[in-house]
Amino acid sequence: MSVILRLMLEFFKTGLFSVGGGLATLPFLYEMSDATGWFSHADIADMIAVSESTPGAIGINMSTYAGFKTAGVPGGILASLALAAPSLIIILIIARFLAKFRENKLVEGAFYGLRPASIAMITAAGLNVAKVALVNLSAYGASGSLTDLFVWKAILLAVVIFVLQRRFKWHPILLIAISAVVGVIFRF
């Protein structure tokens, strides 16, 4: 079997079985690393760092990287498409189903419970980012002083961004770009 086909098959499987966000692909990536040797465990650790500093989820990034390393640019593209294919097919089926059964009592009931659960998880995701972006636990641990717990310049930036979006309706993409520049200038 050609390398590209094997790549696509492996990443298709990963896409099919990893449920719930990019990090869910990690266990599959470690298995694939052991089974194929396409990339090392150190590559995975590096890719986690890269994924945190580029757009796109770790699963997509790893598939692009592994595909490129083993089979060049076509490998990178095809492996990524293979990763996305299972969810694409499943969502297409669900979208059809949803259009038909939207008014169904059971579906309505399920969403009644899903909605608060969904935003609870979004809140938790926000908390996770805030833990890295707005507080400095190690400085707090070292000094024990509450003023060291918060990264004040980050909190100031957060307040400014919040106001710019809420009150002045600045575009989120513009706000992301500004935050990157502020981060570089003020050495966040």
Partner 1 sequence: MKELLELYWTFVQIGCVTFGGGYAMLPILERELVDKRGWTTMDDLRDYFSIGQCTPGIIALNVSTFIGEKRRGIAGALAATVGFLTGPIIIILVIAAFLQNFAQLEVVQHAFAGIRVCVCVLIVQAVMRLWKKSVVDPFTFALYLIVFVLHAFSGYVLPVKLPAAVLVLIAGAAGILMSTAKNRRTGKAGDAK
Side chain identity at 112, as an amino acid letter? Y
**Residue 74 found at the interface with partner 1 (CB under 8 A):** no
Q: Give min distance, CB of 44 to partner 1, in A.
A: 13
Per DSSP, 21 falls in state S
Q: Give min distance, CB of 31 to partner 1, in A.
A: 16
**Residue 142 found at the interface with partner 1 (CB under 8 A):** no
Its sign, for the CA torsion 128, 55, 122, 93, is negative
Binding mask 84-123 for partner 1 (x = CB under 8 A): x-xxx-xxx-xx--x------xx-xxxxxxxxxxxxxxxx
Q: Give min distance, CB of 154 to partner 1, in A.
A: 5
**Residue 4 found at the interface with partner 1 (CB under 8 A):** no
Which residues are bridge partners to 150 per DSSP?
135
- Long-range CB pairs of 8-12, under 8 A, 24+ apart, other chains included: 8/78, 8/79, 8/81, 8/82, 9/82, 10/36, 11/63, 11/66, 11/67, 11/79, 11/80, 11/82, 11/83, 12/82, 12/83, 12/85, 12/86
Number of residues that bind partner 1 (CB under 8 A): 91
Binding mask 20-39 for partner 1 (x = CB under 8 A): xxx-xx--------------
Of residues 37, 42, 53, 147, which one binds partner 1 by CB under 8 A? 53
Q: Give min distance, CB of 111 to partner 1, in A.
A: 6
